[in-house]
Amino acid sequence: MKKKKHTYCVFCGKEIRWIRRKGTVKAVPCETRCISFVPDPNGQHVFIDMEGNARRGRETPDGLIGFYRHACPNFPSRSVRSEKDEQARRWA
């Protein structure tokens, strides 16, 4: 019997974990590896903290626990597509 429930991305099959945003039902797909980071407005990465908030920061050996958002290579980006559709229609 499996103790830990594994979740896999339905688009690319990679193992992910969902971080639920505190106080909402919205969850963010994240990489399974946890990262320690410090918030930094000039940081190069965006981390999802344990409360599901996106925070800009940088990796550090000793900081807050967060995760990288799962940047899915196969995710059908609906907003981008509809934007393109709109543009295509405008220029048609």
Binding residues for Zn ion, per CB under 5 A? 9, 11-12, 72
Comparison of 74 and 82: residue with beta carbon closer to Zn ion: 74
Comparison of 38 and 72: residue with beta carbon closer to Zn ion: 72
Question: Least separation, in Å, of the C-beta of 88 and Zn ion?
Answer: 26
- Dist. CA 73–CA 29, nearest whole Å: 13
Question: Least separation, in Å, of the C-beta of 14 and Zn ion?
Answer: 5
Tally Cβ neighbours within 10 Å of residue 57. Answer: 22
Question: Least separation, in Å, of the C-beta of 62 and Zn ion?
Answer: 30
Question: Least separation, in Å, of the C-beta of 8 and Zn ion?
Answer: 8
- Where do we find the tokens 């019997």? 1
Cβ distance 7 to 23 under 8 Å?
no
Comparison of 25 and 71: residue with beta carbon closer to Zn ion: 71
- Dist. CA 29–CA 92, nearest whole Å: 36
Comparison of 10 and 60: residue with beta carbon closer to Zn ion: 10
